[in-house]
Structure 1
Amino acid sequence: MIFTISGESGSGKTTVGNLLASRLNYKFFSGGYFFRQKAEEYNMDLIEFSAYAEKHPEIDRQEDDMIVDFMRKNDNIVLESRLSGLMAYKNNINSIKIYLNTSLATRIDRLSSRDKNTEPKQVISRARSEFLRYMMFYGMDYRVFTYYDYIIDTDFTSPENIVENIIKLYQKL
């Protein structure tokens, strides 16, 4: 089985994805890792690289192709990325598509804790850039919940409880 974990920056995708993969003894893959590596290759921070990617669609297309190819070639994986659920949906890849929904305030708190120099305006700027890129490239809003099997609010629930709920939902299938 493939699990996709989607959501905005700071929603808990990586934390929940790692925990879920560990609990299920699955492989974990993070699309954000690819984007961060690309930003480093280009000698840019995430905000600069997001702005750059707005003008260079090949950046997102490379990541998308990698994600779709990975899903087609693998099973028993947890794949975390902003678009993994949408990519699975658009490409008819059998998976459980999960969206982690989180308020802007919680996302800012989490990102500020993780990335020490993160300012609220940077979080908003990055989210805006990503939204615009995805709308330009796909004409779709990845935050539309109809693409997902489960939508989970992560503001007031621990990652461990979220994983427990996902496993319970999976066992009912």
Structure 2
Amino acid sequence: MIITIGGLAGSGTSTTSRILSEKTGIPVISAGDIFRQMAQEKGMEILEFSKFAEGNTQIDHQIDQRQAELARQADDLIVEGRLSAYFVDADLKVWCTAPLDIRTERISQRENKTISQAREEIITREHSEAQRYLEIHNIDTKNMDVYDIIINTHAFKADSVAKIILKITEVIKCQQ
């Protein structure tokens, strides 16, 4: 089964993907990891690389192509990334959401930043990405029509979010 898990920074996509992978044994590939790896290869911080990517559409295309190709080659895969649902032919497409203040707190703790710094970076990054995705792919990141399910990760513990997704995969398997 191919599953995409998308969401904004701090919404729990990485945690959800990891837990789901542990429960199912299905491997995970992450657009964020690919993006961070590419930033590191260029010797740039994430925000700096995000701005750099605004003027370099090849970066977005490389991330999208890598994910889509890996998914085509797999029987079972969890693909984590904001745009994964648009480029990966998946059996289930999930969007994780959470309020901005919760996402800010999560990132602040995860990256050892102040709340104000994390919030500013989230807003800057989301604006940059939304603009870039619209320009490059004509994708409006506020349009949720591509997703099969949207889960508020603040309403459930991380393990429960994974259990919800597992239940949905059971339903999908029964329908096939």
- Structure 2, gaps ≥5 residues long: none
Unaligned runs of 5+ in 1: none
Taking the aligned partners of 1:94 and 1:14, their CA distance within structure 2 comes to 18
Q: Which residue of 1 aligns with 2:105?
A: 109
Q: Please say if residues 20 and 163 of structure 1, whose CA atoms lie closer than 8 Å, have aligned partners that are also in contact.
A: yes
Tell me if structure 1 keeps the 8 A contact 2:107–2:113.
no
| Residues 98-129 of structure 1 deviation map (CA, whole Å, 9 limit, x = unaligned) | 00011111111111111113611111101111
Q: Supply the distance in 2 between the matched residues of 1:75 and 1:133 (Cα, whole angstroms).
A: 31
| Equivalent position SS for 1:53 | helix
Tell me what 1:26 maps to.
Answer: 26
Q: What percentage of aligned pairs have identical amino acids?
A: 32
- Give the match's secondary structure for 2:155: coil
The residue that corresponds to 1:147 in the other structure is 146
Where in structure 2 are the equivalents of 1:151-162 lying within 5 Å? 151-162=150-161
Matches of 1:22 and 1:143 in 2, distance apart?
A: 30
Q: Structure 2 counterpart of 1:97, which letter?
A: K
> When the two structures are aligned, how many residues end up with a matched partner?
169
- Partners in 2 of 1:100 and 1:94 — Cα distance? 16
Counterpart Cα distance in 2 of 1:53 and 1:116: 25
Residue number in structure 2 paired with 1:127: 126
RMSD over aligned CA atoms reads 1.1
Q: How high is the TM-score relative to the length of structure 1? A: 0.93
| Aligned 8 A contact 2:4 2:90 in 1 | no
Alpha-carbon distance between aligned partners in 1 of 2:96 and 2:60, rounded to the nearest angstrom: 21
Indicate the residue corresponding to 2:6 in structure 1: 6
**1:43 Cα deviation after fit:** 1.2
**Contact residue 86 and residue 142 of structure 1 kept, 8 A:** no
CA separation in 2, counterparts of 1:76 and 1:140? 26
Structure 1 runs, 4 residues or longer, greater than 6 Å off? none
Tell me the distance in 2 between the aligned counterparts of 1:30 and 1:151: 19
Q: Which segment is superposed worse, 47-56 or 71-80? A: 71-80
In the TM superposition, residue 62 of structure 1 has moved relative to its aligned partner by 0.7
Partner deviation per Cα, 1:71-91 (whole Å, 9 max, x = no partner): 111121111011111212xxx
